[in-house]
A and B are shown apart, each in its own frame.
Chain A
């Protein structure tokens, strides 16, 4: 790891002011992506601005319409939250199959979304539910947030403050985990909104990151059932192929994971 200077600001404003002073800085939350990348010398921020201890960035709240998770809330705290379990159990399930227990103590929802790893879990939930991402500057809809591999609508200096998930009528998540990294080989989040819209997002599958799956959405809109997906064919065009699985394999996984997610959603 190259040399860096560590900062622990007490507030969001203080963090933003530090970034303004150090334009080569990076924000740090759980650190379970950034620190490994720094160790490999693939990132060399001059300064590290740690957001994990800022009180205004931690907490979970459910209203009648939305589950609001502040950005530096850890995965562990999300899995333990009765409010989250009641509002959107699929989000709690997604969190419980993310990483491993030691990672879940440190990783944060804001960090995961800001990083937008093409095989990360939360982007699927954010896109399928069209969650609202609040930052220290504005609000961004899930539909507009993800912009390809490791790329988002965020400005370099922008800080996610919370993610607001509209509470759906039904939602489910199913994941084929890579057995070593626990990232999604392919995972699918299915949702039926309270207004009857069906939205389905797949992660770990596409070469350009998290994506909607229109063929599955159409089939579930016509008939919300596992069987409705039996005859759906997913094209392998644009999907990832690597030593862990071919594009065709991932195309089939999208369908199978969607079926399991529908089953879980009920």
Chain B
């Protein structure tokens, strides 16, 4: 057992857990943040993606010890109160989901993609960059549309700040 200290969605968290604990299990089972999903459990599908120090990574392939001291953001931490994150709003408006299982991971990946490309995104880049996220409903068309829409909204939001 070890004690790990993290910041999760802006709050300090300290947890004493077995060393074999994966971040996704800490989030879901200890912190009740069940928006982060376990899909394939083999590092391929991306349903478990969260941000660690601002980077989109697979929480099913991260031991909690590896990120002791890190800043973690999950799907629960991106809205501002009742106001959805522009990426969430774009997924809703463009019907960027079918069953919704992959959606939290898609959104966390997509925010990272927009951040890295500084709002300068085209469809081909989005499709290439989303390769670490699998939608078993194969609803990619509207997901890509949502990401492109959100890229524009995030640019506007940043300009306003």
Which residue numbers of A lie inside 8 Å of B, CB to CB? 1-6, 8, 28, 31-32, 35-36, 38-39, 48, 50, 52, 76, 99-103, 105-106, 180-182
B56 & A35 in contact (Cβ 8 Å cutoff):
no
Query: Smallest Cβ distance from A103 to chain B, in angstroms?
Result: 6
A102 & B66 in contact (Cβ 8 Å cutoff):
no
Considering the chains assembled together, what is the distance between the CA atoms of A182 and B61 in angstroms? Answer: 17
Query: Smallest Cβ distance from A91 to chain B, in angstroms?
Result: 19
Known A31-B63, A50-B65, A102-B57; judge A36-B113 contact (CB<8 A). no
Query: Smallest Cβ distance from A234 to chain B, in angstroms?
Result: 29
Considering the chains assembled together, what is the distance between the CA atoms of A4 and B95 in angstroms? Answer: 43
Task: Please give me the residue from chain A that is nearest to B58 by CB atom.
Answer: A102
Task: Please give me the residue from chain A that is nearest to B42 by CB atom.
Answer: A36
What residues on B are CB-neighbors of A36 within 8 Å? Answer: 42-43, 61
B42 & A48 in contact (Cβ 8 Å cutoff):
no
Query: Smallest Cβ distance from B127 to chain A, in angstroms?
Result: 12
What residues on A are CB-neighbors of B18 within 8 Å? Answer: 3
Task: Please give me the residue from chain B that is nearest to A1 by CB atom.
Answer: B20
- Interface assignment of B132: CB less than 8 Å from any CB of chain A: yes
Considering the chains assembled together, what is the distance between the CA atoms of A6 and B68 in angstroms? Answer: 11
Which residue numbers of B lie inside 8 Å of A, CB to CB? 2, 18-20, 22, 41-44, 46, 49, 55-58, 61-63, 65-66, 68, 109, 112-113, 116, 129, 131-133
Query: Smallest Cβ distance from A197 to chain B, in angstroms?
Result: 35
A2 & B20 in contact (Cβ 8 Å cutoff):
yes
B2 & A101 in contact (Cβ 8 Å cutoff):
no
Considering the chains assembled together, what is the distance between the CA atoms of A36 and B66 in angstroms? Answer: 15
What residues on A are CB-neighbors of B133 within 8 Å? Answer: 100
| Most chain B C-beta atoms within 10 Å of own C-beta, residue among A28, A50, A103, A180 | A103
B56 & A101 in contact (Cβ 8 Å cutoff):
yes
Considering the chains assembled together, what is the distance between the CA atoms of A36 and B58 in angstroms? Answer: 12
| Most chain B C-beta atoms within 10 Å of own C-beta, residue among A39, A101, A103 | A101
Considering the chains assembled together, what is the distance between the CA atoms of A8 and B67 in angstroms? Answer: 10
Task: Please give me the residue from chain B that is nearest to A30 by CB atom.
Answer: B61
A102 & B49 in contact (Cβ 8 Å cutoff):
yes
B63 & A101 in contact (Cβ 8 Å cutoff):
no
- Other than A3-B20, A102-B57, give 7 A-B pairs with Cβ distance below 8 A: A5-B19, A38-B20, A48-B65, A52-B66, A102-B49, A102-B58, A106-B57
